[in-house]
């Protein structure tokens, strides 16, 4: 596929996934495009960032919201990060043209993955307390806001620059291998 999206237009959510609706993370089907799947997961991550900002401001305990964020940080987000670090970015580095200038950007995004992971790990104990009905402490509220802002900045770069370039540069074989690896991470099966 060689269609280029306008970087100013981030992917629009599906009609049934309007703000406030909480669709389940996308299942990965054999016929899916891995790049489109990553866009869908970015949409989920933007929802999570919005949830974090709601939790940061809440005057009352929000245990369900905290549990949903905690589940996302412990499951969907790590898979997604490994998909990018180990499957998408290496193939994009190999296929990119010198004029794409993508190497430094991918280095920065991978460094952000490490920072976001550390921030998520630091937030988990407080989120577990919030999932049990506690109110966030002032420092937890600040940490939630910081994570949401950092995550949103990260997503803007990936949606506007990385995924459109991946659409252009990855071959059909690259996409098939990437998809097989993504599915294997979620099912425990060998990518074969
Ligand atoms: Fe991503
Ligand atoms: Fe990322």
β-strand partners of 19: 21
* Fold topology of 32-187: 1.20.120
For the chain, the average pLDDT equals: 87
Question: For the CA atoms of 19, 21, 25, 27, what is the dihedral angle to 10 degrees?
Answer: -120
How much distance in Å is there from the Cα of 113 to the middle of ligand 2? 6
Give the least confident one: 13-17, 68-72, 80-84: 13-17
What is the tens place of the pLDDT at every residue in 129-160?
Answer: 999 999 999 999 999 999 999 999 999 999 99
How far apart CA 41 and CA 189 sit, in angstroms, is 21
Distance 103 CA to ligand 2 centre (A): 14
Residues measured by CB to lie within 5 Å of ligand 2, the ion: 84
Supply the pLDDT for residue 188.
Answer: 76
Quick one: how far is CA 60 from the chain centroid? 28
Confidence check: pLDDT of 1 > 50? no
In our burial notation (b when 16+ CB lie closer than 10 A, e otherwise), range 89-114 reads bebbeebbeeeeebeebbeebeebbe
Residue with tokens 């992971």: 117
Ligand 2 mean position, distance from CA 114 (Å): 10
Between 57-66, 98-107, 133-142, the lowest mean confidence (pLDDT) is in: 98-107
Residue spans of the domains in the chain: they are 32-187
What's the confidence (pLDDT) of residue 23?
53
Supply the DSSP string of 63-78, one letter for each residue: HHHHHHHHHIIIIIHH
């Amino acid at each position: 596929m060689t269609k280029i999206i306008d970087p100013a237009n981030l992917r629009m959510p599906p009609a049934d996934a309007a703000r406030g609706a909480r669709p389940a993370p996308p299942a990965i089907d054999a016929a899916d495009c891995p790049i489109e799947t990553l866009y869908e997961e970015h949409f989920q991550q933007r929802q999570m960032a919005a949830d974090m900002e709601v939790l940061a401001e809440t005057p009352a305990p929000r245990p369900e919201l905290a549990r949903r964020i905690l589940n996302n940080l412990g499951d969907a987000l790590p898979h997604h990060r490994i998909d990018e670090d180990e499957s998408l970015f290496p193939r994009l580095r190999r296929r990119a043209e010198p004029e794409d200038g993508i190497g430094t950007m991918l280095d920065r995004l991978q460094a952000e993955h490490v920072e976001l992971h550390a921030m998520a790990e630091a937030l988990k104990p407080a989120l577990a307390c919030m999932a049990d009905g506690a109110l966030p402490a002032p420092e937890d509220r600040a940490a939630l806001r910081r994570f949401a802002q950092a995550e949103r900045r990260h997503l803007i770069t990936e949606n506007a620059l990385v995924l459109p370039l991946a659409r252009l540069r990855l071959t059909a074989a690259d996409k098939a291998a990437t998809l097989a690896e993504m599915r294997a991470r979620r099912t425990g099966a060998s990518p074969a």
